[in-house]
Structure 1
Amino acid sequence: MQALDAVAVRQWANACVRSLDANREDIDRINVFPVPDGDTGTNLLQTMRSALDSLLRTPGDSVGAALAALARGALAGARGNSGVILSQVLRGLAEAAQGASTASGAALRDALLRADELATAAVSRPVPGTVLTVLRAAAEAARDAGSDDLDQVVTAAAKAGAAALAETPRQLAVLARAGVVDAGGRGLVVLLDTLAAVITGREQPPPPVTPVLPRPPEALTTAREAGSADYEYEVMYLLDGLDDPEPLRTALEGLGDCVSVVGDGNGLWTVHVHCNDIGAAVEAGVEAGRPHRITVARFADQVAAQAARFSRDRAVVALVEGDGVAELFRAEGAAVLRPDGPVPPADLLALITGTRARHVTVLPCAEGVRAPLDEAVSQAVAAGQDVVVVPTSSPVQALAALAVHDPARRAGDDVVAMAEAAAATRWGRVEVCQSEAITWVGRCRPGDLLAVLDGDVVRVQPEPADVAGLARLLVDRMLAAGGELVTALLGADAPEDLDRVLEEHLRAAHPEVELVRYPGGQADALLIVGVE
């Protein structure tokens, strides 16, 4: 097929409904951003059904008229954020083909670029790794296809969309944590693949489908696709007579989030907002134009009992470095995140919410996580989880806290016990100096050995290094104030006999003290020591 005509548009719309229906549950299941358990697949399907219904009711033998009917129906029946974006994709296709009887490869290229522009404008805060990323990749591939042949353009767009979809977990941390691709992006790839199949003839287009629009239930609820859990309702309506969308958009942004005010290019607008004041959202529409088809849905995550949301009462989350240390915490039942460079708040939020626990205790014994952790905890608490951070500066403090963790205790009492155990644990480390600095005990230079006690450098040993000797000195100093248990975590670059040297030294100098040692595998310290 070298030109897209009205018949092909109907074939494509039919095939899209069937394909989305077949993939609906899978797309719903992988909807984890920004709130898990959404209904992106369902919303895309219902929006596309509305688009097909409009097409079947509209006479017209040109590709421009057919795509305009699809866009109009999608806008009128848009469900959720994904439905709004789909309506703008179809509007972009319709605008590029306006007045044309058929669409060539060049026209499809322009249509995808316009769809990308409109869909991006429909989202107030675009995020990489979503359906917009997939759409942009498809549009740019169509633009750079190097051919005006329709089959070459659509094939390039579909392949690029699939490749971009596969990359979404690398762009959005919450997808990587869940091991899924973006749900909206997958829905768009289904539509692109279906269009490619219709144009290239690789598959026989499925038979026509008579769309059946769902009858709204008396008490409408929906899953939350995006936005803050602070807002309880999704308000949507169609709007006529709107001259300037910006004042309405500004008014709605003052009421809630996930605001979109988008049109079909012919005077019909759809309005979408998450808010708590339903009346104010509708009044804003009345002041701006003539609202109709008003739909108010209460979010299912607000309606459902908290017991349905949480699968267990308690969980412990640890932020640690080193293979051995991570395995220690996992063996004790903690959920573990190993920071590798700067940690996005989304990673931390995914770890906390992924426990599905009502009460979460966080042990932050890795460097550079305080600011993103504060942000993630704030978001989790706002969404209804009880999250408490126990101050820990070292993994040995976190291990001491985890050792007294008792899920059978009241949550508050348990957190107090864990905090007391961490605070009662002195911690030290032997590490190699990485840069020149001034310490409490003098200047240190790269390559020097440092003994650190409770965060302060207490000994600098210039090269040649004597790791075992400095470790003995550090342990003696830590035990000067008393102690019954020494925990040693051996770093990835620790000397092979370091644990044996420590054992022999403690047996001779402190026979009353018990030693436990583990291969910590941390890269930033040769030895980490805790004394309890």
Structure 2
Amino acid sequence: MVEIPETGRQALDADVMREWAARGIDTLTRHRRGVDELNVFPVADSDTATNMLATLQAAFQGATPGLGLEALLDEAAGRALLSARGNSGVILAQMLRGLADAWNGDEIDAKGFAGGLRTATDAATAAVAVPTAGTILTVAEAAASAAAKAAPFGFVSAARAAAEAAAEAVAATPGQLPALARAGVVDAGGLALTLLLEALVETLTGSVSTGALDLLERHRVRAVSEVEEVPRESGSEAFGYEVQYLLESNAPAAAELRHRLTDLGDSVVIIGSRAAADVTTFNVHVHVNDIGAAIEAGIERGRVHRISVTRFDDTAPPRPARADRPATPRTVLVATAAARVREFLDRDGATTTGPDRVREALAAVRAAGGRSTVVLADGPDAARAAREGAQGARGDGYRVTVIPTGSVVQSLAALAVHDPERHFDDDVAAMAEAAAACRTGELRAEAEGVAVVVGEADFGVFDTAREAVRDLADRLCAGGAELLTVLPGAGSDTETVTALSDHVREAWPLVEVQQLPAGDDEPLLLIGAE
């Protein structure tokens, strides 16, 4: 290992933090593929470094300029929470939350650095329902302990000790986790964390530590054909889906959810937006077979949104329907308060209901001989009513899953990918992913003019609806949209819709626009971007 000089910057402030983050992003970008190839636990899905990189980019790229260290980290932790991907990304986001909670000044010394690593490690470990030895958590523990011992000798010494201890802990992971030993690799998440700690040492001293890279090269020399195919550990072989979503709730409800999800699957990680008692946003991650049950467990405890469902074995052929039951059509029930949309869908042959009639609608569907139903609920009231109705409809093998979509255009996106020939869980996964991928934008009438809203973010107020709709279209199309689905509100006018269509045709010629019947009184205009 290269000898690292003790000289260097002996404190961490906002500028050093930004430089460390940028160097860490660059390091993971360069070595992402190699680290991903090592990924076999908790599932062999080859995305550990990719998820950690995406989380780190979301946290720091585009950060508000001029913030001090405390504000910078608080913003980064909040952004990471909302964007964290996969098991490793969620754990990294919680570590950032721990650093933000511990580093409360504009400059951190060696003791503060060590304390921050300890808080970050403890926070990440507490977020995992069943911590496992030989993973990123083990590596973080070793780094935090080493930093505390070296802190009296200065910041550089503490950072170097953390990086070296992390590399040693990574090298030891095959002896702690059988999946790693069988595959002849080290833990991918722990190695990625070590790369980030070594990026800090380089930021402080200008010298490159190569412990992590040595490990990476050592474990990449085996040809792919020589590596044994590794089954998933800790029961994961039995679970085919990764489910993630954001939950608006409180800490006691999140604790209840952790227990419920542990009963349903494994790899349960739940992180919160801040350490205080007023936590309102959680990022929930679990591996399960029953997608609907995992989602509904969240609905029972708060507002669920940004649902993501990933099937681990994407290359496997679709699972056939069970041979012991007749092939009957699966019903997709759209629960929405938008009466005009219901009328349009009913004419198109879909099954719809208002939020206050979900129980009756489910009973009617079941009485007609169906064996399963997916309910698309476009708001908190509809989701609550759908969940209550689903509980009453289940029994004797009848399956009901509720997908909360957030808006009626997201329900329409989910409905568009429904395939009754798919296995029930695969169909639920496809619809949940389609709903999550559909971004929404609105025009809202306000006293000062017309407001532009994308997702939950406000982007200013315009004097006229035509100005506002052009701005909204640009924001949605810039994100890679191929189709805009437009629902004019009852208070909208044809000139606004025409202005939208004309602008998209001229500025975004590859984007298609489809208009559906008028929606509710508010918003003035609702757009879904797919």
Normalised TM-score (structure 2): 0.51
- SS, match of residue 300 in structure 2: helix
2-side partners of 1:293 and 1:37: how far apart?
21
Q: Partners of 1:32 and 1:93 in 2: how far apart? A: 28
2:281 corresponds to 1:272? no
- Partner amino acid for 1:303? A
Indicate the SS of the match to 2:134.
coil
Distance 1:226 1:72, change over 3 A: farther
Give the one of 178, 201, 207 matched to 2:206: 201
Larger-gyration structure (1/2): 1
> Displacement, 1:278?
2.3
Match of 1:84, SS state, is helix
Change (3 A) 1:34 1:259: closer
> Kindly tell me: are residues 49 and 227 of structure 1, through their superposed partners in 2, closer, same or farther at Cα, counting changes over 3 Å?
farther
- Matches of 1:290 and 1:171 in 2, distance apart? 38
Aligned to 2:192: 187
1:111: how far off? 0.3
Query: What is the alpha-carbon distance in structure 2 between the residues aligned to residue 267 and residue 158 of structure 1?
Result: 34
Cα 1:302/1:179, change in 2 over 3 Å: same
| 3-state SS of 2:152 partner | coil
| Percent of residue pairs identical | 48
Q: Which stretch has the larger CA shift, 72-81 or 189-198?
A: 72-81
Report the equivalent of 2:271.
262
Letter in 1 for 2:295: V
Equivalent of residue 65 in structure 1, options 71, 85, 88: 71
Alignment of 1:3 with 2:11, yes or no, is yes
Question: Do the aligned residues in 2 keep the contact of 1:162 with 1:189 (CA within 8 Å)?
Answer: yes
Amino acid at match of 2:71: A
2:426 aligns with none
Which of 238, 243, 250 aligns to 1:235? It is 243
* Structure 1 residues 114-145: Cα deviation after superposition (integer angstroms, max 9, x where no partner): 11111111222222211111111100001111
1:173 aligns with 2:152: no
Contact 2:45 2:312 in 1 (8 A): no
Contact 1:232 1:302 in 2 (8 A): no
The structure-2 alpha-carbon separation of the partners of 1:250 and 1:83, relative to structure 1 and needing over 3 Å to count, comes to same
SS of the residue corresponding to residue 238 of structure 2 reads coil
Match of 1:82 in 2: 88
Structure 1 segment 48-447 matched on structure 2, within 5 A = 48-53=56-61, 56-98=62-104, 100-147=105-152, 149-202=154-207, 228-244=236-252, 245-265=254-274, 266-300=279-313, 303=316
CA distance in 2, matches of 1:300, 1:225: 16
Matching residue's letter, 1:282: I
CA distance in structure 1 between the partners assigned to 2:260 and 2:173 by the alignment = 33
SS in structure 2 at match of 1:303: coil
Give TM-score, length-normalised by structure 1: 0.50
Does the Cα contact within 8 Å between 1:262 and 1:271 map onto a contact in 2?
yes
For structure 1, the 5+ residue unaligned runs are 205-222, 307-532
Does residue 1:40 correspond to 2:53, yes or no? no
Residues 1:243 and 1:254: Cα distance change in structure 2 (over 3 Å): same
Deviation at residue 107 of structure 1 after TM alignment: 0.7
What is the aligned partner in structure 2 of residue 359 from structure 1? none
Contact 2:264 2:288 survives alignment (8 Å):
yes
SS in 2 for 1:202: coil
Classify the secondary structure of the residue corresponding to 1:254. Answer: helix
Distance 1:296 1:177, change over 3 A: closer
The equivalent of 2:509 in structure 1 is none
Q: State the SS of the aligned residue for 2:237.
A: coil
| Secondary structure at 1:135 match in 2 | helix
Aligned-pair CA distance for 1:82: 0.6
CA distance, structure 2, for counterparts of residue 60 and residue 292 of structure 1? 32
Could you list the per-position Cα deviations for residues 435-472 of structure 1 after superposition, in whole angstroms to 9, with x for gaps in the alignment? xxxxxxxxxxxxxxxxxxxxxxxxxxxxxxxxxxxxxx
Cα deviation 1:79-126 (Å, max 9, x = unaligned) = 11111111111111111112x111111111100011111111122222
CA distance, structure 1, for counterparts of residue 306 and residue 169 of structure 2: 36
Q: Please, which runs of 5 or more residues in structure 2 have no aligned partner?
A: 1-8, 210-230, 320-530
Contact 1:104–1:148 (Cα < 8 Å) also in 2: no
- Give the letter aligned to residue 287 of structure 1: E
Deviation at 1:29, TM superposition (A): 0.8
Task: Return the alpha-carbon distance in structure 2 between the equivalents of residues 114 and 165 of structure 1.
Answer: 20
Partners of 1:112 and 1:231 in 2: CA distance: 32
Deviation at 1:42, TM superposition (A): 1.4
Query: Contact 2:73–2:96 at 8 Å: present in 1 too?
Result: yes
What is the count of residue pairs matched by the alignment?
285
- Is the 1:261–1:269 contact (alpha carbons within 8 Å) kept by the matching residues of 2? yes
Residue 227 of structure 1, CA deviation:
5.2
| Whole-angstrom CA distance in 2 between matches of 1:192 and 1:225 | 28
Q: Deviations over 1:194-243 (max 9, x none)?
A: 11111223269xxxxxxxxxxxxxxxxxx989852322221111122324
> What amino acid does structure 1 have at the position aligned with 2:140?
L
